Amino acid sequence: MGEDYYSLLGVRRDANKKEIRQTYKKLAVTLHPDKNQDDPDAHEKFLSITKAYETLKDDELRKKYDLYGEEGAPKHQSYHSWSFYQENFGIYDDDPEVITLDTLDFEQSVLSTDTLWFINFYSPICSHCHEMAPEWRKMAWELEGVVRIGAVNCVDEWNLCNTEHIASYPTLKIYPSDMRTQLLLGSSTPWLILFYVGSTVKEDLELKKLSVLLFNMHVGKVNCAKLLSICLDLNVNRYPLFAVFKQGGGYEIHHGKESAHDVANFAKESGAAINVRILTPKEYYLARNQVKSNDLWIIDFFAPWCPPCLRLLPELRKASRHLGANVNIGTIDCTVHSELCRQLSIQSYPTTILYNHTDEHLFYGDHKANNIVEFVYDILNHTVIRLTEYDFSSMISEKPSNELWLVNYFAPWCYSCKALTPEWRHLAKMARDLPNVYIGEVNCEKESIVCMGQGIRAYPSIRLYPFDSKGVSTFAIYSGYTKTARSLFHWLFNFLPSPVLELNPSTFNDHVMMDKDVWLVDFYAPWCGHCVEFAPVFHVIAQNLQGVVKTGNLDCDKYVDLCHKAGITGYPTVKLFLKPSKFSYGDEIPNASRRTDHTCSRPKSFQSYAEDVPRRLTDFTPPSRKFFRSELYRPTRRGEINVHWLTSCDTSILPVTVSVTPAFDTYGR
């Protein structure tokens, strides 16, 4: 095994990028072969530290190195002259007033805050950038405390500069703020505490700034040399360290930059998220026991050196403000509590688990607050039915012929299974209004007997147990490469009995034109991609309106003349036929716009259509009035709006009840 990269550079394992860059620059200037021509090993030594630096400066490479060692390191290293390291490397690394930002810093401190920033995007090989550097430092010193002055090295952070559309160097950009965010707290005032040892001249200056920035919080400091037992109890393992102690007894530690503005932003977020707290191993097991009551716990296992972990923490705080008071969020630092994480088989960071009574649900998907809230809502409302051995025996093995089950057999360690998880939940919501259609899943690691009995040998395996069959003797296997909610829903649609009547000119004239019942007709063409997309949506509409409205579809590629008489100019077109007539070809359900290439745009809802034509309601027959009033404008559960979409380019927009997401505890609890 090769030499440890952290030891080679002389940095801590939790060192940030700036510390790694500063240390490497000193070593590069000292050990460069140009300055050590008498040392035959100088070249190899220099390549070793360069390899270590290029591994640890890159978030992904650093993560791979921490997990797998040198196997994840780059194979080739860059090589520059001694003068490059002496004069060009890290122009602002030694300037405390100018904040060098990497991608994570930029997202957390610039894009996610209300602070006013003035940022210099530069290249170390740009002569104009070097000429401007003294003036930039002077301005940063003069504006300290008023505007935050930053710098981004576009050679190191090229992806960030590309995202910000930086085309030349230097480029100076201002990131404005409305400066109105305030901390909304309960009656108990939180504390921001600085833990320190030794001299605190610099920290005292930051605390004075913080006391002004955080007018709704108390600010204090603790000398860990004098109060060692307190610091040990709180697992304070570095100095200086800022922590927020909240209403209710929880606390959180700050893991970002230690400037006043960054700490203040953290304190505001943390103080407002009173249900988010750090957990020790003892508190973890207490929380697990508490889950037996009505309280739930989301526990995030993380490491402070992991950039995705640090991006997730503020999203958890945001999510906590939308979840109910009985949903708690705990964080466990696996670098501090490594034994607990080892016992729980935590193998990657971040790992986020929802503990719901005796069940554990791993969170997969984008690390955004709205996705976390949606994940919790789906679990609590049993959007996907989790099948145990007993459930499988009673629900699937003894399935009656009037039920259809779609089951995902998965393993928690399987990457493709993890990618499928959010799509599977989305599919369950798309299909929730289909009568007698159930979406389930089997964890083959826990329910190995079930999976062995079904001959499951690969993950994920998706099987459909159709209507008109009993038990598991008849099933279809999904073999499509794309496993999105949309593609799976289209596949499911092929196995559903359709209430939509396939019309021809004869049935159209006899039933639609002359029938006393209300008809809703989809005019389509089989070659039209949007028609194919819309077909399952119209199918669900038809099922929801059974007994109130009759539904049919007409192939305009086959019956061109009839569609021409009906005034069909684009596909798909949906028309409503309200009363019998030989001459009226119905009322078209309007799109927001109709483009000449027959593609559809985001439609108006049926509810909006009813509101647009109130004066015409007096002309409607009684069944039509019932159709509009009771079916399309009926009140639903608190916190929800009933909207029926009649045309759509997206099969995720279904004619079902659409939830408006207020606070979590609004949902029927």
Which is catalytic among the residues 334, 528, 563, 600? 528
Question: Is 531 a known active-site residue?
Answer: yes
Closest CA to 363 of 290, 418, 409: 418
Cβ neighbours for 399, distance < 8 A, ≥ 6 positions apart: 405, 465, 469, 470, 471, 472
Condensed to tens digits (0 to 9), the pLDDT of residues 200-240 reads: 666 777 787 888 788 788 888 888 888 888 888 888 888 88
Catalytic residue among 341, 531, 556, 600: 531
| Tokens 């964080």 belong to residue | 331
Between 23-27, 294-298, 505-509, the lowest mean confidence (pLDDT) is in 23-27
pLDDT above 50 (res 106): yes
Q: What is the pLDDT of residues 288-304, one digit of tens each?
A: 876 656 678 999 999 99
Model confidence at 588, in pLDDT bands (50, 70, 90)?
low
**For residue 434, what are the CA distances in angstroms to 201, 403, 475, 540, 542?**
67, 11, 19, 7, 11
Please confirm, yes or no, whether 341 is among the known catalytic residues: no
Kindly indicate the confidence band of residue 333, based on its pLDDT and cuts at 50, 70 and 90: very high
Q: What does the buried/exposed string (b/e) look like for 469-491 if buried means 16 or more CB atoms within 10 Å of the residue's CB?
A: eeebeeeeebeeeebbbbbbbbb
Q: What is the mean pLDDT of residues 368-378?
A: 87
Distance CA 352, CA 335 (A): 16
505 to 86, 104, 414, 426, 515: CA distances (angstroms): 84, 63, 52, 39, 14
pLDDT of residue 582: 53
Strand partners, 642: 657
Amino acid of residue 254: H
231 tagged catalytic:
no
d(Cα 235, Cα 279) in Å, to the nearest integer? 11
pLDDT above 70 (res 637): no
* Peptide bond just before 572 cis, omega within 30 deg: yes
Among 108, 119, 184, which Cα is nearest to 147's?
119
Catalytic residue among 154, 417, 556, 600: 417
- For 444-506, list the strands marked E by DSSP: 461-465, 476-477, 501-503
Tell me if residue 451 is catalytic: no
In angstroms, the CA 217 to CA 215 distance is 6
Dist. CA 493–CA 490, nearest whole Å:
5
Q: Where do the domains of the chain lie, and which CATH numbers do they carry?
A: 5-88 (1.10.287.110), 99-175 (3.40.30.10), 182-269 (3.40.30.10), 381-493 (3.40.30.10), 501-642 (3.40.30.10)
The yes-or-no verdict on residue 595 having pLDDT over 50 is no
Sign of CA dihedral 253, 257, 258, 264: negative
Q: Which residue has the higher pLDDT, 584 or 634?
A: 584
What pLDDT score was predicted for residue 342? 92
Paired tokens of 504: 């021809």
How much of the chain, in percent, has pLDDT values that exceed 90? Answer: 23
Spell out where 133-184 has E strands: 148-153, 171-175
Number of Cα atoms under 13 Å in the Cβ half of residue 490: 15
Rounded mean pLDDT, 244-266: 88
Rounded CA gap, 18 and 57, in Å? 9
**pLDDT at residue 541 greater than cutoff 80:** yes
Global pTM reads: 0.50
Give the pair of three-digit tokens for residue 645. 């979409």
Residue 306 predicted with pLDDT over 80:
yes
The arithmetic mean of pLDDT across residues 622-643, rounded, is 36
Residue 284 to residue 277: CA distance in whole angstroms: 11
pLDDT for 512 beyond 70: yes
